[in-house]
Amino acid sequence: APHPKDSGKASWHRSTTGGRRQIRPALFIAALAACRGDNPLATAYKALLKAAKPKRVALTAIMRKIITIANARVRDAVRHQNEIGQINA
């Protein structure tokens, strides 16, 4: 998540210092790869660039989309495992 470094009227660039520091480099590489293909993430990246967002901001948005998708897939896998466990029990 971007964290501000503002003081009074001064407004500096936001930096991504929070979150899961260990997986951020992997997410960055995954976002770079996703932006080069022909997929919904690449379409979203191009739309952000067309909306005059800086490339780094657009990549950070794609990183967030990737982690959201990954979290949803883990959630669904856990639900599926629980359903199988209830059927077998």
- In order along its 89 residues, the chain shows pLDDT tens digits of 556 666 777 666 666 666 777 888 899 999 999 999 899 999 999 999 999 999 999 999 999 999 999 999 999 988 877 777 776 65
The answer to whether the CB of 74 falls within 8 A of the CB of 47 is: no
Q: State if pTM tops 0.85.
A: no
Tokens of 63: 């990183």
The answer to whether the CB of 32 falls within 8 A of the CB of 49 is: no
Helices (H), the chain: 24-36, 40-50, 55-88
DSSP element (H, E) containing 2: strand 2-3
Cα–Cα distance between 15 and 13 in angstroms, integer? 6
